[in-house]
């Protein structure tokens, strides 16, 4: 089996993945899927994503946590800190945010797992936005489901189309 770099995120219908260093919704079913897909793998995240995690789950248990930051001497207890994405172990890893790291990782990735939350947030200047997938990706769209939080959501699975 070939090693892969994967991306995973949840986004509003308007493409927002974060606001004020937090996720602006709660969909427990998405967190269950996130755990199922990433457990036992390396998770790669930017410093702000690391800092946004509740201290009770930092580092994310059952996963090797890698924090990418340009801040020299940055310490992330329980995680490996690297200065660039190129310094991170990319085999069989999941990039979990934020938007800058997604932008760097997308050209290297072969799989994206996305949760769309049926919430049309008006974009603000400092919102973190989801990467945009181009025609080099093919995917499947799941049905809308009702969350226990009252929101609707659906899952998408994308794979990079092999070059011919």
The CATH number of the domain holding residue 54 is 3.40.430.10
Predicted local distance difference test score (pLDDT) of residue 1: 43
Q: Which domain holds residue 47?
A: 5-160
Number of domains into which the chain is organized: 1
Q: Does the pLDDT at position 150 exceed 60?
A: yes
In tens, the pLDDT along 46-64 reads 999 999 999 999 999 999 9
Quote the pTM value.
Answer: 0.94
- Cβ atoms within 10 Å, residue 119: 16
Predicted local distance difference test score (pLDDT) of residue 86: 94
- Residue 21 — left, alpha, or beta (φ > 0 → left; ψ -120 to 50 → alpha)? left
């Amino acid at each position: 089996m070939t090693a892969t770099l994967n991306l995973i995120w949840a986004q509003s219908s308007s493409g927002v993945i974060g606001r004020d260093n937090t996720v602006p919704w709660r969909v427990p079913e998405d967190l269950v899927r996130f755990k199922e897909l990433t457990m036992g793998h390396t998770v790669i995240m930017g410093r702000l994503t690391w800092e946004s995690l509740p201290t009770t789950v930092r580092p994310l248990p059952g996963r090797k946590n890698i924090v990418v930051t340009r801040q020299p001497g940055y310490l992330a207890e329980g995680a490996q800190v690297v200065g660039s994405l190129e310094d991170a172990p990319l085999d069989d890893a999941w990039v979990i945010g934020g938007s800058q790291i997604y932008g760097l990782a997308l050209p290297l990735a072969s799989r994206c797992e996305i949760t769309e939350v049926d919430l049309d947030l008006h974009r603000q200047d400092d919102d973190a936005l989801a990467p945009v997938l181009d025609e080099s990706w093919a995917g499947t769209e799941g049905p809308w489901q009702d969350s226990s939080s009252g929101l609707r959501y659906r899952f998408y699975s994308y794979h990079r189309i092999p070059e011919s």
